[in-house]
Structure 1
């Protein structure tokens, strides 16, 4: 009997020392633009630091964060996010990750329904009767200028596409070294921002992925800037120009960048430094990829 009591006391004491995460959503049904609040609390920290997404970046795209406040103490952490949604439909707050020491705690997911409280039966009364007004040329310009500008933009886009299709491929084939040098300069600018040293991993990966996508678009003639990550990886695998080593590095860095963007992983300084060096190596080796592909086509 004493052994059982001793074991139970050990279990109870260990449970009391373990971190515990709780969350509360104020409302699960909202009107358009109505304010809601999500509260997340973590207890029994024992002095451990809590890491999560930065302020105003915790919730997904459709949730407009109004206020994001964080309170903490040695043994307690609380985060309150006030937000609103300006689209009708059902939206999900996914599981949110909070890193405490070496442990990842997950706040539960919530589903929210947003409704438009206005109905078809609502009557809108005019304040005053309609009046006819004579319009001048300036008035017509104000009314239709956006349509005119849009039409001009479409024409310019068509001309640009024709020029790119006609001359762009020829220029890109003759200037892989120029693309490489320009990208290396962009990478130097990125490293000088010291995101790695300051631990700002989200900003680091956002800019690193943007630079890499522009580079792939120019050097390998793939639409990297408009493709989703999975589609881009498939396109790179189907492309004969990119070497397997470069393809593997790009895939690993791009997938890690997506996880960082949605706060699913928290890379350390060594990982960020390695990803930067690997992307720089890909850029430097790309000239050989292009030269080998041109030689293969000539044969």
Structure 2
């Protein structure tokens, strides 16, 4: 009987001698809001086995803000110390944590923690140090606000550049040469319609007058698109923007065009060709006349 007892004790001692021991310890079960707590986990008799657990700073559940998570692993021991804090009042639980040692799963014991607010209503909060007044000079203000100032200056410069580009583009687009070229293209398109050759004098003069009115309106800033022919001729004579020779061309073409539209005359191909060529000549010379006038006026 004694011999059997000795054998059992030997087997038990052998089991404990070759098994790992997982232990954990919580330093406090009651914490103040934001007060650090420490959970210490130890494994002894490790025998160089691998230890697998949650990654650092990810072991504890939500509500537990991990401040520090250190792991010290040696051949025969493993120690993990987690420092944490809780920033909400109430009761919280650290559940059983999983540790796999050499492929075998072990669990720590769970812990209940109560978090309390130690501040009392009416407590006076004193500053650790009285506020100190500091006098700032220009250099201090420059260091504080220099990036705001530089950013504002860059923004103003960028807006100025954009404004100048838009202004230049508008001026370029509305320059006398550009308007002249556009009108010459319109006249060429009118000529390709062969109204003169086919004797379609009414459509010819309708489109010719439309091109003329649009050209005078944009090139000379005279509202030719809304004025009647007689009123337009009077404005041209008073304005003096167009030379007397060109005024005579405009007056002849517009007068003939009105008579054609109201079926009072029936022009022949010679009249139509002459009016087309005279208007084209007027358009070609207009940009030079306007640029010369601008130079005289210092524009």
The reply to whether TM is greater than 0.5 is no
Taking structure 1 as the reference length, the TM-score comes to 0.42
Taking structure 2 as the reference length, the TM-score comes to 0.42
Larger radius of gyration: 2
